[in-house]
A and B are shown apart, each in its own frame.
Chain A
Amino acid sequence: MRVTGILMILATMLGGLQASAQNRTISGTIVGTDKLPVIGAAVMVVGNPSIGASTDLDGAFTLSVPAGASISIESIGYKGQTIAVGDQSVFNIVLEEDNEMLEETVVIGYGVQKKRLLTGATINISGEDIQKQNTTNALGALYSSVPGVNIVQSSGLPGAEYKITVRGLGTTGSASPLVVIDGVAGGHLEDLSPSDIESIDILKDAASAAIYGARAANGVVLVTTRQGKSGEKKATVTFDAYMGFQQPNTNGVKVVSASEYLDLLDREYIAKGTIREGQHYYDLDALMPVQKRWMEQGQWDGTDWFNSSINHNAPTNNLVVGVSGGSDAVRYSFSFSKAYQEGTLGLPKPTFYDRTTARANTEFTILKKDNRDIVKLGENVTVSITSSRGMNVAGRGGDVHNMLIKTPLLPAYDLDGSIYTYDKQLRDGWFVKDDEVNLLQQAGLDEKQGKNVRVQGNVYLEVNPIKELRLRTAFGFRGYTEYKREYTPEYQLSSTNYRDYDSVTQSAEVRTSWTWELTANYKKTFASDHSIEALLGTSIEGTGWGMKLNGTRSSTKFGTWNSANLGSVEGAVTSDEHASMGGGNTVPYNDLVSAFGRINYSYKDKYMVTAIIRADGSCNFAHGYRWGVFPSVSAGWVVSSEPWMEFSKGWLNFFKIRGSWGQNGNCRIDNFQYNSTISLGGFYNFSYDQATPVVAAYPDNYARPDLTWETSEQTAIGFDSRFFKSRLGVIFDWYIKDTKDWLVTPPVMGIQGANASSMNGGAVRNAGVELSFNWNDNIGDLRYSVGLNGSYNKNTVLYINNSDGIIHGDAKILTENVRNGDGFRAEPGKPIGYFIGIASEGIFQNQAQIDAYNAKGYAFMNGYEQAQPGDVIWIDQNGDGKYDELDCVEIGNPHPDFTLGFSLSLQWKGLDFSINGSGAFGQQVMQSYRQFALQDLEGFTNNFVNRLWTGEGTTNKFPRFSDGSHNNFKCNGYNSDIWAQDADYIKIRNITLGYDLKKAIKKLPFQSLRIFVTGQNLFTFTGYDGMDPEVGTGAPNYSWSSGIDTGYYPSPKVYMAGVSIKF
């Protein structure tokens, strides 16, 4: 609403303005050097792109231009030209073919480099492409264009983080890439509005990333925010806004109704012989007489807790205003943005994410001589204020999981629409289950408000004493402030789930960190053919001052949310039994001290070589283990520039082979693990009144004095190429990346008697190929481009250093009953976090099959029940007649073998259309939307019911219905492959249709006014029967596990419309 309001005001204000000029008409034809007409070339007035035309089939154009204008001519595959119109009225223009198209520069860390001269594997995405996708987080816009980079959103919760994995998971420790924003490492990408981003560069190979050696083992994401440009004398003002609504992408998953549910149970207990045909397992007259009547009268058929919490048509909107411009002395770019996104789950209090950002990037030229900036001073600052309301989405016990397993027999609402409370349970004699809590009532209890304020940016000074030398010093800073107030009222949700007092908690936290770097860059070309560029630099990163405070009090004076604070409580703190107080602080220290150098050499822009070395010292390690030196070399050869390649000029415009080798490091662990710290967290009571505990001190971790750097070593070879007048681009990469000396925290032997510390524990190999195609062309006025990329990666653990060579994962990943062995683990020869369990070879379809197996000595499960049709045929791998640890095999791999990205965009006159998507193949997801811990009152989801074996030939994958204690569902307590599902998918991420009204209404007082509609995430093609095959969750507390779906917050479908104006 707010956004439309502002729009209307702006439109009224600007509507009266008119552009006026004396125009005259020019015409001409455009041909290539081969004399053939260039079709669809864009002819535009410089400085006013709204006046333009494109050439027809004969290469001809006519255009009405203001006096004294210049026109620019651009066409894909040709070098652009600018011509002053003067008095001339007919133009015959010859365009030179552009064999390079690679003059553009990309960011490489502490500098920029011509794309043509790059010797490493990087991906460059322009801010424009990101902004077009209209996502709240810039990473959400990258899915389709980043081969070799796997992006998975951790959930569909608004503001949820994205997991980025560059060239395969490299460690069981911290595996996310280093994010560098405007040269400041470790920033928060989610704090930037996507519209603030000029470009994102992802450094994939070790050689490119080596300049950030210390923390580059998992790749580097370089973000450059928008900068003002000199020459834009008149300020450019942009205004972008969209609003839309969202629907959950549940893939039809719902919890079965009460009547279906009761039928299921009756069927089970009849089969088991507990009750006879016609009898019911639950005596509804005794357990829920009122609800039985409701059901008979068709007023109610159970509660689908999951669907009850859906927030239909959840709004999302965004507003960005930007101003940029520049002169010789000052360049500036400012922006302000506001984004709000509501979540599709979580009623009665919907989840949301709200972000306000303000950014100021300015640069001043202080001293200028001979048209050269000698001293420059500048700063980039972003401030973001976010607030959100989330849900616990991860794993068993998470909110989504709880909604899926909740019994349908408890009403969420009374017939009159009011919340069905515990009092109503008592009123109606609802006795189905002890301690049943109305989840919706519970979710509505807590009130919280708070904000996170983050400031990140840098100030820098650049001096160019001589043309070849650039000296730069930059001080980067990050500040983080969070404050929160939470309130829980008195409640009684069930007989034992109650609270007879209200309480309020307030907390605040401040954290700071800083970076200081000095670099010298020397660039010179000798004898016209030899170019050399050298960089030398140092940097120090530190943690600054920080503190936190929090307090809780109970029984507030007024007992309402608005009035509740720590002061609004009567009585002394000591008389408040629920009062608590906490605090903490950090004392400034240096984290990382580094020195680095880079040298690029190129000969005739044809042969190039780059060498990088970086040395880093980290305070996380002990003396003698602090320093890591990370070298890299890479080389490139532009084959297409060789004279003997002349023959291919007609179709091959550019071909560069590059190869690299390098090492990067990772030191992201907690400090002080190199010695054994003393915890004062213990206590005992040596007083008769038992009320005065004393402190107990003990060594709490196992010291690792020799702890040192994790190293990733990568060898990569690839080529960049352009064909057919550069209309087709093909990029290929091959790599082997070994990450060794993992910083892992493996379980210690019990006899060591203290908690584990990190150790240098293992190694993994990621090997893969990446291939991407890009086709740009035009047919008449229709410009189009098609992109397709794919990557293949294989993840194999090489060794693990602890005593048994395995890093064990949790057993209970899916259900309470599955509790033996590991659910997933890291083990040599297998991918990190692969799923392990007992495999099956189908379902017994009939008694004859059972008898046949029996005759062969099939190992039936222990216990009172022998196999019957519909039971799983478990594989007894070692044939010892039992199912145990020794029968566990690999039953799934959470990592996709192959990922795919694709995009198509069309532009015709003022109309633009784009569609893009991504896919992942070869991975498995372990899924259970049920606990199975003998909780026969848990809900069943329809996808579970649909999978069940219901008679001969119905399915050979999933067993018959039986109670949760049955070995069909837990195979002696081990994880099993009946829960593993292939989760291949293709998602259409974004479809956008836009129109620039300026093309139709030339009088509009804007440079452009584009309106658009976008649909995000509208289609998912998958065989997976859960909500969302893009599962961003693993086992809680295991960062290296993934692909475990116990109920998940699916990503929403978004429908939006917006406007983008440039003044």
Chain B
Amino acid sequence: MKKIILTLLACILTVVSCDKIDSLLDTTNYQKADTSSFPQTEKDAEQLVNSTYYSMFTFYTGSIFRITLFRHMIASDDLYGHGSESSTETSAADRLLEISGDENNSTWGSYYKGIHRCNYALEAIDAMDDELFTGDNKNWYLGQAHFMRAFFLWIMADRHETFPLTLTFDVENTPNATVDEIYKAIADDLLAAINLIPAKYGYSREDNQAGRATKYAAEALLGRVWLFYTGFYQKDNMAGITKSQVISYLEDCANNSKFGLEKDPREIWGYTNEYSSGFAYGADFDTYVSRENLHWVGNHSKETVWGVHFPFNTPSGQMAYNRLGEWLGMRNAAKTTNKDIYPYSAESNGNASVNPNMVKEWYEDPYYGPQDKRFYGSFLATNEKSLKKAYPWLKSDFYIELPNFKGDNNKEVERTLFYPKKYVMTACYTDGTKTSMYKNFFHAINSAISNSKSGNKNDAIYIRFADVLLMLDELKGTTTGMNQLRERAGLEPYDSYSFERLQKERRYEFAFEGIRFDDLRRWYPETAGEIIQKNQDGGYIEFKGNIVPDGYREMPGRSFSQRYTQTHGFWMVPMSQITLQEGLLKQHAGFEEGDNWIFTNGDLPYYDVKK
């Protein structure tokens, strides 16, 4: 008996230990390559670099909280939360709150996916033989991967302040890095990008170049990050990079990049397209754009030093579109396109309304006012009857773009009747006869697009050339850039530089572009909250069709300035990541146990107003 069992065992163990048998199980993955076999060619390397760009799409398709640009627009003093009662994400972003402990979770993962892809591209391409590459392409690819990693790290630093720094392909569970470690990593990557990416690649419409990160984008981003770091943390250099070095990088960008200003500041934005105005059909649909004779320059503007570019057609099942348009539009009860809202799409959610205090300030400023092309070019006014009642300070010649548009009285909260329009989702007639309509003008450009929302393909612009000019002015105390912008906006030049003038110029040039919030944070790291609260409190608002007597209000016990003092404008680290990282990952101040950071449905302080 025993013998038999032992023989049996021996037989089986022989089988198991035999290499020939084991190799019967070797399988080759014909569907996918793996890290042991990829990359092998220059094309592989290029595809790895492409994936770092691909990561950016995911930030634009999901929740509002994914898009830093959007949240910073809403958190600033230029826009209110708006939306409906169920747009808790917007209301929370407006008041530096969160709606759940995990709202940033998927984005957190997405950014790290981007970083992970950069890490792999950098390690794998670096290990490849130089001979495999044409010319200086190896450096070009490596430089782009460095740029992309710096960009992701910067956005993370901007959102969360500190986080685990993962700069290698193999990742261990690590705690938050220090602020200085993070900015050192960003600086190193940007310097590497500046050194590695050949200078010959500037603004270009050539295939395989349009939309790629350039040396100049790295210089411009370095300017943005340097200004934030030195301003917000009150330092005089960033990882050893001095002010004069930043100036020379920015000057290189300003002079040698082939990027430049467009002729009219409004023509950067999609709403000026010629399908909505009728120009494309040889017609005039009598819109703001047709009256002002504006012609959209299209995506890939020469002013876009760095932005996300969305493809018109995507591989099946994949999403890549700019959700900003869906949120930053007008909310229309019927959701059907009609003439009261033309040329704008009726399918937006209306998640942002312009702070009327900002409108008033701009309107009444003798150096700006309605003659500033950017004034009516950046936002629009609706509902003539209510508007005139709400804002007695408007003069009779105030331009009301959609006088008959009523919005959605049942749903809208914090409505000011003013809407931002740089990213607005825009419809158009299908031909000159005005009989039928595309809910998104991109449908007229490319027939593959038929969905109004996922057809929103505007560039999401991070750094405009105008910003390079204004950064230089700010660093050097000059008016060169400001006056170029003022001239193109139809305004008289400034005779001399002042910080206040620079601040105003930035505010109006970049109105509703998601830049103001960080500007305030770097200029006033401690008091930005008070400034924003002061600028936005009391503005006229309607809450579900009812006028709120004293206007925009703060949350009882957690006003904007209180929240700013707690958080300094940073966002919550997703709770599930803290759990997953077994206590190594730390929550940001202001979102800890007891900080009262949650905004829930019904928290808006206006319910007493409801009839």
Contacts and interface: CB of A to CB of B under 8 A. Distances in A.
A750 B112 contact: yes
Interface in B433-488: 439, 446-448, 450, 452, 457
Contact of A677 (B8, B29, B113): B29
A627 interface: yes
A326 interface: no
A699 B120 contact: yes
B392 interface: no
A690 B16 contact: no
B210 A862 contact: no
A753 B164 CA distance: 12
A683 B318 contact: yes
A794 interface: no
Interface string A925-946: 0000000011000000000000
A966 B607 CA distance: 14
Nearest to A501: B450
A678 B27 contact: no
B335 A691 contact: no
A863 B600 contact: yes
Given A536-B8, A687-B207, A619 B315 contact: no
Contacts of B116: 698-699, 752-754
Interface stretch (B46-54, B283-291, B491-499): B46-54
Name the residue among B26, B85, B439 with the largest chain A CB count within 10 angstroms. Answer: B26
Residue among A434, A500, A684, A803 with most chain B CB within 10 A: A684
B159 to A, nearest CB: 13
B598 A803 contact: no
Contact of A695 (B1, B50, B120, B174): B50
B279 interface: no
B550 interface: no
B523 to A, nearest CB: 32
A753 B580 contact: no
A934 B4 contact: no
Question: Which residue among A434, A596, A682 has the maximum number of chain B CB atoms within 10 Å of its CB?
Answer: A682
A714 interface: no
B9 A613 contact: yes
A85 to B, nearest CB: 49
A495 B313 CA distance: 24
A680 interface: yes
A89 B19 CA distance: 74
Interface stretch (B73-81, B101-109, B379-387): B101-109
Contacts of B31: 584
A697 B43 CA distance: 10
B15 A685 contact: no
Given A613-B8, A629-B12, A973-B600, A690 B309 contact: yes
B36 A675 contact: yes
A416 B496 CA distance: 78
Interface residues of B, number: 107
Interface in A116-132: none
A686 B51 contact: no
Interface stretch (B228-236, B257-265, B528-536, B571-579): B571-579
A808 B102 CA distance: 13
Contacts of A629: 12, 16
A617 B19 CA distance: 12
A466 interface: no
Interface in B387-422: none
A274 B25 contact: no
Contact of A683 (B11, B25, B50, B164): B50
Identify the interface centre among B34, B207, B347: most chain A CB within 10 Å of its CB. B34
Contact of A750 (B25, B105, B446): B105
Interface string A847-890: 00000000000000011110000000000000000000100000
- Main SS class of interface, B: loop
Interface string A537-581: 010100000000000000000000000000000000000010010
A176 interface: no
Given A434-B335, A803-B582, A972-B600, A749 B11 contact: no
B316 interface: yes
B101 A685 contact: no
A283 B38 CA distance: 65
A18 to B, nearest CB: 61
A693 B12 contact: no
Contacts of A675: 34-36
A695 B47 contact: yes
Given A619-B25, A677-B29, A751-B174, A690 B603 contact: no
Contact of B335 (A496, A617, A623): A496
Interface string A665-677: 0000001100111
A685 B598 CA distance: 39
Contacts of A683: 50, 54, 311, 314-315, 318, 320
Contacts of A692: 207
Contacts of A691: 311-313, 446
Given A672-B32, A802-B580, A863-B602, A495 B336 contact: yes
Contact of A803 (B166, B173, B447, B574): B173
B590 interface: no
Nearest to B408: A434
Contact of B208 (A690, A694, A966): A694
Interface string A606-635: 000001011101110001001101000000
Most B CB within 10 A of own CB, among A689, A751, A863, A865: A751
Interface string B18-43: 00011011111111111110110000
B176 to A, nearest CB: 10
A682 B576 contact: no
B54 A698 contact: yes
B217 interface: no
Given A615-B16, A683-B311, A684-B311, A696 B47 contact: yes
B5 interface: yes
Interface in B228-265: none
Nearest to A534: B4
B147 to A, nearest CB: 14
27 contacts: A496-B336, A587-B28, A589-B27, A593-B24, A599-B4, A601-B1, A615-B13, A618-B25, A672-B27, A675-B35, A677-B34, A680-B47, A681-B318, A683-B54, A683-B314, A683-B318, A686-B50, A686-B211, A691-B313, A692-B207, A697-B38, A698-B117, A751-B581, A753-B119, A804-B582, A808-B576, A934-B601
Given A675-B34, A863-B603, 19 more contacts: A274-B611, A496-B452, A584-B31, A589-B27, A592-B25, A601-B1, A626-B22, A672-B32, A675-B36, A677-B29, A678-B38, A686-B211, A686-B212, A691-B313, A692-B207, A697-B44, A749-B173, A750-B574, A752-B116
Interface of A: 274, 431, 434-435, 495-496, 500, 532, 534, 536, 538, 540, 577, 580, 582, 584-585, 587, 589-590, 592-593, 595-597, 599, 601, 611, 613-615, 617-619, 623, 626-627, 629, 671-672, 675-699, 703, 747-754, 802-804, 806, 808, 817, 819-820, 862-865, 885, 933-934, 965-967, 972-973
User: 5 shortest A-B CB distances, which residue pairs?
Assistant: A753-B116, A682-B54, A696-B50, A698-B51, A696-B51
